[in-house]
A and B are shown apart, each in its own frame.
Chain A
């Protein structure tokens, strides 16, 4: 019985090894991605998945990529990290070691992206990502194999208060900050917003931190209400953003300005809240109205394929995948070092705008202030790019 079991195990190992080697050595270029397709950040992951797949599909429809003088198709393998950094790290290990990925695309938010990026860095394989604010990305280490295309937190921290200022919206200048204790929450809410608020002349009457998965905000909301804060800046992921907005209304607290970074980005925020989402501000880095190649088409393609409202996350993911695919084309090889060297030379305008990496391996996207109005986001700042008027005060 034991001997039979051993034989079965041995056979299984042989079969698995054979197929494993086959998948890595076939005439295709494997690119891996670990994405939050379930868990609290699933609202981001589904859009990223679409963006990554679209870029790869386009390349394959055009006949693939020429590597060492031979055209090869690109195979994208995506694994669900369930919004768990440990899963992102193990997925990245698996994609690189077992699935034979020659390069990686990133997950979403600093906690997940950085977890996978550290694995790629250790394995000396290139990883291109969006969805990781640049200060949080840069704070981890001096990256050699990882490249980030996203917005810079200091610009984000300024955007909403500039919008309030430029639209001449009058408040009592009392401001409350609520932020989670994740890497970007601590950077934006713990460090940048207090400084920026003071520079705009606001009195910061409250700065409350909470765990990323917190669900009850009764005391935080009550304190801001008792301190009469007219402006509330929040940094939280989507489930918490929904809980906060709902609990604010249920506690009878309606500030004049409500900005919710990160969590108010996906369309599920507005779908879950209905009219309560109206007037909520969130920083944005892309809109179909931007004057970049195929911006409007990308949004239309998403909406026609999925029958869902598009999100800016389709753009940074699509661009990140295109940047990586272009680098493989330039390298003409699946050699990690050659792809990485080609990434360093990236200098092209993509759907998110011009992408050129600096010495920190970051390419900065410009920030706009978006506001939810009637279930859709409109650009309200800068005024030169506005697609709608500023809804003030918060309904």
Chain B
């Protein structure tokens, strides 16, 4: 029989991890919501954030979490030419053309990582990444708590941006009906470009958090893309707070699956939930588009 400490620690760790992954998934969600684009290079942009955090820490010695705003801007800056020169010209050719473009970018990025940084597995070696935090019977990695807190703040900031600002109003209008938004003066192209940059920046921040808590290599992106897709489906397309909920729920459910069936079955549980939600509640569990 499982010890209480094992079960409680595992579930709390899963919830915290889910919260961290929700930030990366949020980037995928808003791009999907506004541009109707499944960004198949999302996991690779996440790795750009992980490598940026790694080299930021290696060369400056400054904690990569302090450098998150710089890293977010850097990754977002990379996204703008991708949108401007590769995605925008294909905007009228349907979602498939843009999706295949992102698939090609994913392959190119993976190879660029190998050529530029070698295929080695890396990890951002900050000291607190290996420290436990114990509260009663629950022991969780301290870095999960820090990552969860940062993720929560970033998600709430994006929620505020979308719900309370003029850009957010334009974004919501473009997501609801791009043609109608254009007729009332919304620059839909600009909104899409900034949304794409925002989505990729979320992936970048998520990548630095994941690189701090875990390990990564040039080929790690695919696994995080799948996790993000599961969270997006669970939380509801384009729903910011729903994505947070989706992350927390997926993390908790994967932990329960890990406890019941073994850690090796976490991903299986995640994908099974993904398919069940797609089949029976494709709009996700959190309704609305906020």
| CB under 8 Å from chain A, chain B span 122-158 | 122-123, 125, 129-132, 134, 139-144
**In the complex, what residues of A have CB within 8 A of residue B184's CB?**
none
**In the complex, what residues of A have CB within 8 A of residue B259's CB?**
219
Are B14 and A40 interface neighbours, CB within 8 A? no
Residue of A82, A215, A217 near B219 (CB, 8 A) is A82
Are B6 and A250 interface neighbours, CB within 8 A? no
B165 at the interface (CB under 8 A from A): no
A223 at the interface (CB under 8 A from B): yes
**In the complex, what residues of A have CB within 8 A of residue B220's CB?**
239
**In the complex, what residues of A have CB within 8 A of residue B130's CB?**
246, 249-250, 276
A166 to chain B, nearest CB (A): 30
Are B219 and A39 interface neighbours, CB within 8 A? yes
Which stretch (B80-88, B113-121, B281-289) binds chain A?
Answer: B113-121
- Name 23 interchain pairs, CB-CB below 8 A, sorted by A: A38-B111, A40-B121, A42-B120, A42-B217, A82-B219, A211-B264, A214-B267, A216-B266, A218-B9, A219-B262, A220-B263, A223-B2, A223-B6, A225-B6, A226-B6, A246-B123, A246-B130, A246-B214, A250-B131, A250-B141, A251-B140, A268-B120, A272-B215
**Residue picked from A222, A243, A251, A274, most chain B C-beta under 10 Å:** A222
B285 to chain A, nearest CB (A): 23
Residue of B139, B140, B254, B262 near A220 (CB, 8 A) is B262
Residue of A42, A211, A247, A272 near B118 (CB, 8 A) is A42
Residue of A38, A268, A273 near B218 (CB, 8 A) is A38
Number of interface residues of B (CB under 8 A): 47
**Count of A-B contacts judged by CB separation below 8 Å:** 130
Expressed in whole angstroms, the Cα–Cα distance for A246 and B267 within the complex equals 20
**In the complex, what residues of A have CB within 8 A of residue B129's CB?**
246, 250
Expressed in whole angstroms, the Cα–Cα distance for A225 and B10 within the complex equals 12
**Per-residue A-contact encoding for B199-243, CB less than 8 Å = 1, 0 else:** 000000000000001110111100100000000000000000000
Number of interface residues of A (CB under 8 A): 43
On B, residues with C-beta under 8 Å from A are 2-3, 5-6, 9-10, 13-14, 17, 110-111, 114, 118-123, 125, 129-132, 134, 139-144, 213-215, 217-220, 223, 254-255, 258-259, 262-264, 266-267
B215 to chain A, nearest CB (A): 4
Are B123 and A242 interface neighbours, CB within 8 A? yes
Known interface pairs A214-B264, A242-B123. Does A252 touch B134 (Cβ–Cβ under 8 Å)? yes
Are A214 and B263 interface neighbours, CB within 8 A? yes
Expressed in whole angstroms, the Cα–Cα distance for A215 and B219 within the complex equals 13
A43 at the interface (CB under 8 A from B): yes
**Residue picked from B121, B142, B144, most chain A C-beta under 10 Å:** B121
**In the complex, what residues of B have CB within 8 A of residue A238's CB?**
121
Are A250 and B215 interface neighbours, CB within 8 A? no
**In the complex, what residues of A have CB within 8 A of residue B214's CB?**
215, 243, 246
On A, residues with C-beta under 8 Å from B are 37-40, 42-43, 45-46, 82-83, 181, 208-211, 213-220, 222-223, 225-226, 238-239, 242-243, 246-247, 249-252, 268, 271-274, 276
**In the complex, what residues of A have CB within 8 A of residue B111's CB?**
38
**In the complex, what residues of B have CB within 8 A of residue A209's CB?**
262, 264
Are B119 and A39 interface neighbours, CB within 8 A? yes
Are A222 and B217 interface neighbours, CB within 8 A? no
Residue of A219, A239, A243, A252 near B258 (CB, 8 A) is A219
Expressed in whole angstroms, the Cα–Cα distance for A249 and B214 within the complex equals 12
A271 to chain B, nearest CB (A): 7
**In the complex, what residues of B have CB within 8 A of residue A208's CB?**
262-263
**In the complex, what residues of B have CB within 8 A of residue A222's CB?**
3, 5-6, 9-10, 139
Expressed in whole angstroms, the Cα–Cα distance for A60 and B260 within the complex equals 58
B246 to chain A, nearest CB (A): 18
**In the complex, what residues of A have CB within 8 A of residue B262's CB?**
208-210, 219-220
**In the complex, what residues of A have CB within 8 A of residue B144's CB?**
250
Given A239-B217, A239-B220, list of 17 further CB < 8 A pairs?
A37-B114, A38-B218, A38-B219, A42-B120, A42-B217, A83-B219, A210-B264, A213-B223, A216-B263, A219-B258, A222-B3, A222-B9, A246-B129, A250-B143, A251-B140, A271-B120, A273-B125
Expressed in whole angstroms, the Cα–Cα distance for A319 and B131 within the complex equals 43
A217 to chain B, nearest CB (A): 5
- Which residue in chain A gives the minimum CB-CB distance to B131? A250
**In the complex, what residues of B have CB within 8 A of residue A247's CB?**
141
- By Cβ-Cβ distance, the 4 closest A-B pairs, closest first, are A42-B119, A250-B141, A252-B132, A249-B130
- Which residue in chain A gives the minimum CB-CB distance to B144? A250
